């Protein structure tokens, strides 16, 4: 949704903001997310995918969403997760 908003209207749609804000409410304290792991690449083999996708979505979200209080807190937790869980393979 954030990618679409950035590449079409350049405006953060209210539903996109709602989805991004909701994302932070389900973020774990370690900065990750409870991600479905079914062993199916690329999305379902590790938690890095979800953390990275969240970071990209926030980075692409228009209207400086990344500077909001909720995003700043969530991004700090994403950084902590990535620091505590360094990449183990090229996919990550």
Give pLDDT tens digits for 26-80.
Answer: 999 999 999 888 988 888 888 898 999 999 999 999 999 999 999 999 999 999 9
Burial of 84 (0-12, 13-18, 19+ CB in 10 A): exposed
With residue 84 as reference, give the H or E element that holds it.
helix 69-84
> Looking at residue 89, what is its pLDDT?
83
The answer to the question of residue 90 being in a domain is no
pTM over cut 0.85: yes
Rounded Cα distance between 32 and 91, Å, is: 17
3-state secondary structure of 13: coil
Task: Give the count of domains, the chain.
Answer: 1
Domain span at residue 32 reads 2-84
> Looking at residue 60, what is its pLDDT?
97
């Amino acid at each position: 949704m954030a990618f679409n908003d950035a590449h079409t209207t350049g405006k953060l749609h209210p539903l996109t903001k709602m989805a991004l804000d909701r994302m932070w409410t389900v973020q774990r304290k370690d900065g990750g997310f409870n991600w479905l792991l079914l062993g199916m690449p690329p999305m379902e083999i590790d938690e890095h995918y979800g953390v990275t996708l969240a970071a990209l979505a926030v980075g692409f979200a228009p209207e400086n969403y990344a500077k909001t209080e909720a995003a700043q807190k969530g991004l700090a937790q994403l950084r902590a997760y990535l620091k505590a869980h360094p990449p183990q393979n090229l996919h990550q």
